[in-house]
Amino acid sequence: MKTRRARRPSLAPREVVLGLDHLERRVSFISVGAAFLLALVTVVEWARNAKTTNTAKLSKANTCPTGFHRVGTLCKEVVTSTAGAWEVRLLFIVVVALCILYFTVRRKRAGVACFAIFLGFGPVYGAGLIFVLFGSWLILRAYRLQRFGEAGFASSNRVAKERGRARREGRATKSTGANAKDTTQKTVSAPVASKRYTPKKPPRRRR
């Protein structure tokens, strides 16, 4: 039967791991600003009734699907999005951005990271990669805090190197201590009787 591995204790307090430091909080506010900027771009595109271009490959007969027209070696289709699609996208971005702002003010790392990644996988197209990277960055810094006690890349690497060096030195010291123990055992004489349990000798009688 396999025994479960003991969980390594966190080197940073729980409040530090789950909270946000000054740098993380500042970057979180910047991400909220980027989300509202993305919402503004959505409003502008909505007002202009922007068109979406879909592409497809040519068939084996070098023809395009219905609704597509051939442009070079590809088939393209220009679709005008309905107002409802823009409304859903705008509402999604604004609501998630407000959630990120709320958890940033409350200094809740988990909430900021989860909603940032959620926004990244939403209908924000290429801009979503920025929010996915931001949420992953917060999670990675929390992992470094738990394991090394430092959130930065350089500082956590320094702690890891010092820990590895100390582990190697600890092994050498342990083996040296065992050898010293064996040598001591060889030179020690026979054990002396305990005074507590050894009865005292009766005094000699005078003749």
Q: What are phi and psi of 55, to 5 degrees?
A: -120, 155
Asked whether residue 159 is domain-assigned, the answer is no
Asked whether residue 31 is domain-assigned, the answer is yes
Q: Are 118 and 96 in contact (CB under 8 A)?
A: yes
H/E run at residue 201? none
Average pLDDT rounded to a whole number, residues 184-189? 45
Q: Round to the nearest angstrom and report the end-to-end CA distance of the chain.
A: 76
* Measured distance CA(142)–CA(110) in Å, rounded: 9
Asked whether residue 170 is domain-assigned, the answer is no
Check residue 179 and give its pLDDT.
42
Q: Are 81 and 45 in contact (CB under 8 A)?
A: no
Asked whether residue 27 is domain-assigned, the answer is yes
Per the confidence metrics, is the pTM higher than 0.75?
Answer: no
Confidence of residue 4 (pLDDT cuts 50, 70, 90): low
- For residue 122, give its domain range: 14-49+84-154
Asked whether residue 42 is domain-assigned, the answer is yes
Check residue 29 and give its pLDDT.
96
- Split into its structural domains, the chain has a count of 1
Whole-angstrom CA distances from 112 to 12, 48, 106, 135, 206 are 20, 32, 10, 7, 94
Asked whether residue 36 is domain-assigned, the answer is yes
Question: For 20-67, how does the pLDDT look when each residue is reduced to its tens digit (9 = 90+)?
Answer: 989 999 999 999 999 999 999 888 877 776 677 778 887 777 788 877
Asked whether residue 136 is domain-assigned, the answer is yes
Check residue 15 and give its pLDDT.
78
